[in-house]
Amino acid sequence: MPNTTGPLVVALLYDGLCTFEFGIVAEIFGLARPEMGEGWYRFASCAIEDGPLRAHGGFRLTADHGPDLIDQADLIVVPGWKGAGEPVPDALCERLRRAHARGARLASICSGAFVLAAAGLLDGKAATTHWRYAGALRERYPAVAVDHASLYRGEDRIFTSAGSAAGIDLLIEIVRRDFGAAAANSVARRLVMPAHRSGGQAQFLERPVALRRQSDVSPLLDRLRTDLRRDWTIQEMAAACHMSLRTFLRRFGEATGSPPGEWLTGERIEGAKALLVEGGIGLDEIALAVGFGTPDTLRHHFRRRVGISPREFRARFAANADASA
């Protein structure tokens, strides 16, 4: 451990270690930063099972410490996990519960949220993970309020982050809480990244809601997607399905998990994303093409759903970005 006197940060090592996620923790908390003074973090890692342990990338590692180090940690970080369906050892869960009970903080990166959830530490709390795992976390641990959109969440000394790189955002936020904005900005500059990223996971989602099995409203869904420009009313949708309004609303909710207006807004956002990435047309034309009518309406719904403006989205994801949005 470094010759500092600050909080002891312990990263967990396991067979099948997510190398990038562990590297984030070691980079932020384990790198020597003499400019921060003697009160900076102490860092160590500990194996939760016998080694040598395999890590992503085709190499093996042997830890300096065993799980007993968890009992001394001020901050425990779970850098990913073996998989959403992989069991978490009971002994590890018990150690994590004891650590939290004595006042330690716990943080997870990406799939590491499944470890904290298995220990019962996320019950009744809002937590996030990679958007691809959000459904599995929600299904496996229904007592957890899963947030699939945020880059990170924190509550009651427990922190969770989204996909791998979002771990950097979370850990810099922890630095900010512990040592202030100047320290967080310094660490971010060393990493050559912003101290705070705008938007959440929504800008990276392939689709906001996965479609369910075929149903009586499936033909209508296909028709709506191919005619986003049209100003559909719920009555028109029900008539197209030859259903009463009450039956239609029930069947639509069963098929999509959303009311018609919310679902259609989501599809229009997806259509706008595709046109923004393609490039070549301005926001006025995109708004008309996907049924929002005006650029202001598109901007409003886009920022609400995606967390950033259409202009920012195009700048980040378009092959030939322009500033017309």
Whether residue 144 contacts residue 123, with contact meaning beta carbons closer than 8 Å, is answered with yes
Spell out a b/e string for 182-191, using b for 16 or more CB atoms within 10 Å of the CB, else e: ebbbbbbeeb
Does 18 participate in catalysis according to the annotation? no
CB under 8 A, 24+ apart: contacts of 253-261: 254/212, 254/215, 255/211, 255/212, 255/213, 255/215, 255/216, 255/217, 255/218, 255/221, 256/209, 256/211, 256/212, 256/217, 256/221, 257/209, 257/212, 258/209, 260/232, 260/234, 261/234
Choosing from 18, 46, 93, 110, which is the catalytic residue?
110
Question: Taking the CA of residue 206 as centre, how many other CA atoms within 13 Å lie in the half-sphere pointing to its CB?
Answer: 5
Q: Which of 109, 133, 114 is nearest to 26 (CA)?
A: 109
Residue found by looking up tokens 């968890």 in the block = 70
- Cβ count near 86 (within 10 Å): 13
Q: Which residues contact 155 (CB under 8 A, 6 or more apart)?
A: 125, 126, 127
Which of the residues are catalytic? 110
